[in-house]
Structure 1
């Protein structure tokens, strides 16, 4: 297996080096459990229980929960505690459309900044996705998938938009995972990125736009089709 050496991807935009801070470790652990559905929507999360589970202070847990709240993965309400956020189709559909607009509307900027380094990073992400798929590690696959799209969009050099895209990505992936068929072919998810890299390498921006549009709108090929309601509204 090829070695993977990536910065930790964060859905608040950009990347961070693993800091060793306990709150970051707790944040990552809970994020994974929420995305994979180990912690189901509406599940209650109490600081005391989590502090006992992770062997840390309630302040450390509070910091992790605040970050999850910023990502929209939990809801923290006064006098009502903290609960895992819902994962509704309407939200997923709206975020998918926002993501589609962000990624597909700025490809001229991406193409103008494409170089060997960017292509190399995207190919490395693809290899990491393939490794995760072979290992049957859906969360690691999701992390590298999100990292692929974040790195591609970073070439557009629109840093204020990046956190919006990042939130769309993690919620799109959460919805897909929670609504996909069991034992789906993870390798297909990785291979769907091959034509994107090829079009980018060829410098064909219109073909890249078509591929990326199709890639995004069919993100739920292995689960519910979010485009179904769009067809119903147009009929």
Structure 2
């Protein structure tokens, strides 16, 4: 799994930076489409078709698909091609439980390392979420939302765990987007981070844990707790 940059300045900041600029552009475009559901779960992606679409070589496409495979967004199998990964409730529930364990278990380490740069970065992510919400750009909102949580966890200084959280985050957002009702309240989604930031600023570990736990469990708007198996159809 690739380790990501968490600067909130652009969409590209939430994707790995280890390939050509062209491959990176293809990767970002396909990531957007998979997260938003334009490329539906189970759809077969062919290198030739994508190369023609993006005006690049099949090698460039292959590089982008390999990176998407690392994120678990596509499944590449010999002689069977590449398919967009499924997005079902069982996977979502397992990843949410893992995400909640990662984010909420180590908040004492985060609180001990709260400083001005961390708070500044998180406020910048929040402002970027608000701007994306006002623009109606759900994908950009999801990128900045992921950046917020990744930057928060980075303060725990557990670099071997951070890439696991990164994967949990993108799949949580994908599930959220594909299963939410139409016309979601994007501005309210951004504002949900305000009390988390306030608890962090106060270094209130108990309040922060409660807020984060609820925030993670109710990812589909303000809906059901997906960590409860009885609430999964």
TM-score normalised by L of structure 1 = 0.91
1:222 shift after superposition: 4.9
The question of whether the paired residues in 2 share the 8 Å contact of 1:150 and 1:166 is answered with yes
* Structure 2 CA distance for partners of 1:54 and 1:223, relative to 1, 3 Å: farther
Alignment of 1:163-174 (within 5 A): 163-174=163-174
Runs in 1 of length 4+ with deviation above 6 angstroms? Answer: none
The answer to whether residue 62 in structure 2 is matched with residue 58 in structure 1 is no
* Structure 2 CA distance for partners of 1:113 and 1:16, relative to 1, 3 Å: farther
Q: Hey, what's the Cα distance between the residues in 2 that align with 1:228 and 1:106?
A: 22
5+ residue gaps, structure 2: 1-7
1:79 shift after superposition: 0.7
Aligned residue for 1:96?
Answer: 96
Aligned residue for 1:210?
Answer: 210
5+ residue gaps, structure 1: none
Aligned residue for 1:9?
Answer: 13
Aligned residue for 1:229?
Answer: 229
Specify the SS of the correspondent of 2:143: helix
* Structure 2 CA distance for partners of 1:49 and 1:224, relative to 1, 3 Å: farther
Count the aligned residue pairs.
225
1:116 shift after superposition: 1.1
Specify the SS of the correspondent of 2:198: helix
Aligned residue for 2:161?
Answer: 161
The alignment yields a C-alpha RMSD, in angstroms, of 1.9
The question of whether the paired residues in 2 share the 8 Å contact of 1:65 and 1:74 is answered with yes
Alignment of 1:81-120 (within 5 A): 81-120=81-120
Aligned residue for 1:128?
Answer: 128
Aligned residue for 1:139?
Answer: 139
Q: Hey, what's the Cα distance between the residues in 2 that align with 1:83 and 1:20?
A: 23
TM-score normalised by L of structure 2 = 0.91
